[in-house]
Amino acid sequence: MEDRIEFDSVITEKALNDFKMYHVFHNVGGVFGYVFAAFAIVMCVLGVIFKMSPKYIVMMGLFGVFFFFYPIVNMRLGTKKQMKTVAAFKEPMHYSAGEDKIIVSQGDMSEELAWEQIYKIRFTGSNLILYLSSVRANVLTVNSMGEAAVPFVKMCQKKLKPFQVKVNMDKLAKAAA
């Protein structure tokens, strides 16, 4: 008899926003935007200290504020819109992980994923992100997974290469409890 780990994952607005924030802070473009925002704010402050042109001070201040807040506001608004329009977020996804594959189902639709199809798994602090490619991922909410979160990741560690599974098991156990 094959061991199977079964759980449901419900995507909430908070989980989707957490996923998007994770990506902003883990890619070059997102980090560069925040570095530029900090640079612009520092230049604005230096402009005030050294009594530079008011136009320069205002321009750098606006750039800093814009590049700091716009991505956050844009993500939150996009998340709200996605939660309302994407049908897949309205019902929980059911996962059944076994030795040979993971079966993902929702309603009457089902997809089988061989372990070889898994690109990587990351833990964001409240979600597990199951990447199927560099641009396609399933978000697994640890709260809805409950006690199945830790055994699922342990199974992933057995089936995947070490560099594919980046999960702090202590933090995962705390989040799942």
What band does 1 get if pLDDT is binned at 50, 70 and 90? Answer: very low
Question: What global pTM score does this model have?
Answer: 0.83
- Those residues whose C-beta lies under 8 Å from the C-beta of residue 30, and which sit 6 or more positions away, are 23, 24, 71
What band does 2 get if pLDDT is binned at 50, 70 and 90? Answer: low
Question: How far is 130 from 137, CA to CA, in rounded Å?
Answer: 5
Question: How far is 76 from 63, CA to CA, in rounded Å?
Answer: 20
Is 60 exceeded by the pLDDT of residue 50?
Answer: yes
pLDDT for 12: 92
**DSSP symbol at 162:** G
* CB crowding 97-129: b at 16 or more within 10 Å, else e: beeebbbbebeeeeeebebeebebbbbbebbbb
Of all helices (H) and strands (E), which one includes residue 63?
Answer: helix 54-85
Instruction: Identify whether the C-beta of residue 131 lies closer than 8 Å to the C-beta of residue 137.
Output: yes
Is 80 exceeded by the pLDDT of residue 46?
Answer: yes
Please name the residue that has the structure tokens 């409950």.
146
- Selection from 16, 22, 11, 6 nearest residue 123 by Cα: 22
Q: Which residues pair with 94 in a beta bridge?
A: 8, 105
- pLDDT tens column, 121-174: 999 999 999 999 988 999 999 999 999 999 999 999 999 999 999 999 999 999
**DSSP symbol at 31:** H
Please name the residue that has the structure tokens 């699922």.
152
Sheet with strand 93-97: strands edge to edge: 5-9, 93-97, 101-106, 109-114
- pLDDT tens column, 3-17: 899 999 999 999 999
